Amino acid sequence: MPAPLDFWFSIGSPYTFLAVMRLSEIAERAAVEVRWRAFDARAIQVEANDAPFADRPLKATYMWRDIERQAARFGLTVRLPIPYPLAEFERANRVAALAAGEGWCPAYAIASYRHWFVDREPAGGEPNLSASIREAGQDPARVLGLANSEAGIATLDAATNEAREIGIFGSPSFVADGELFWGHDRLEDAIAWQHNLDQGNPG
């Protein structure tokens, strides 16, 4: 069997909401195994001078309307407007990177986005942070102690370096055997690509 599909994401990216909420079900239906990989997309975008929505009010307004329409199409509840950008972007993703290593990343990421997009509580900040950790079955004190330690910071940095080396430039991204797909709009394509790999067919 080839390696699983890598799902590279940062909590804080608005479009990533759609991918985080939909990925598990779609992957399961296709019998595709997914590795959740949190990284710091903001750091990479700053390096590339590529903040697609900053200082572009028309595009930002469009983005929220588009997300609202897409969410409705997929039956996902959202209560816009929500706080944006996230003040505690890094902390949200340090916990996600730690969670990825410990095996409870999907539950944490889904809870973070739900509290952010439905309850309007910024991800990475309280009360969202501790509630999301708890909903993933973990103890907030333990997790936050680890996430804020040097090792916790290094875990996210290492993931971001790995993403950078692959050539990832935004969230969400999907990598199937070196083939990169960017954006929620490519979720189904990435799953199909991985499914073909798993079946032993060339992409």
Give the residue, chosen from 49, 150, 165, 202, that forms a contact with a second copy under the rule CB under 8 A.
49
How far is it, in rounded angstroms, from Cα 140 to Cα 84? 24
Query: Is 165 near a second copy (CB under 8 A)?
Result: no
Query: Is 73 near a second copy (CB under 8 A)?
Result: yes
How far is it, in rounded angstroms, from Cα 115 to Cα 110? 9
Query: Is 48 near a second copy (CB under 8 A)?
Result: yes
How far is it, in rounded angstroms, from Cα 196 to Cα 32? 10
Q: Which one of 8-16, 24-32, 48-56, 151-159 is the stretch in contact with a second copy (CB under 8 A)?
A: 48-56
Question: Whose Cβ is closer to a second copy: residue 76's or residue 99's?
Answer: 76
Report, in Å, the least distance between residue 187 CB and a second copy: 11
Query: Is 182 near a second copy (CB under 8 A)?
Result: yes
How many other β-carbons are positioned within 10 Å of the β-carbon of residue 192? 17
Please state whether the peptide bond connecting residue 14 to the residue before it is cis, i.e. omega within 30 degrees of 0: no
Applying CB under 8 A, what is the total number of residues that bind a second copy? 24
Burial class (CB in 10 A: 0-12, 13-18, 19+), 165: exposed
Give the residue, chosen from 61, 77, 148, 149, that forms a contact with a second copy under the rule CB under 8 A.
61
> Cα separations (Å) of 75 from 21, 78, 100, 194?
10, 10, 27, 25
Neighbour-count burial for 2-26, b at 16+ CB within 10 Å, e otherwise: eebbbbbbbbbbbbbbbbbbbbeeb
Give the residue, chosen from 24, 64, 66, 84, that forms a contact with a second copy under the rule CB under 8 A.
66
Query: Is 28 near a second copy (CB under 8 A)?
Result: no
How far is it, in rounded angstroms, from Cα 196 to Cα 10? 27
Query: Is 188 near a second copy (CB under 8 A)?
Result: no
Query: Is 58 near a second copy (CB under 8 A)?
Result: yes
Binding site for a second copy (CB under 8 A): 48-50, 52, 55-56, 58-59, 61-62, 65-66, 69, 73, 167, 169-170, 180-183, 185-186, 189
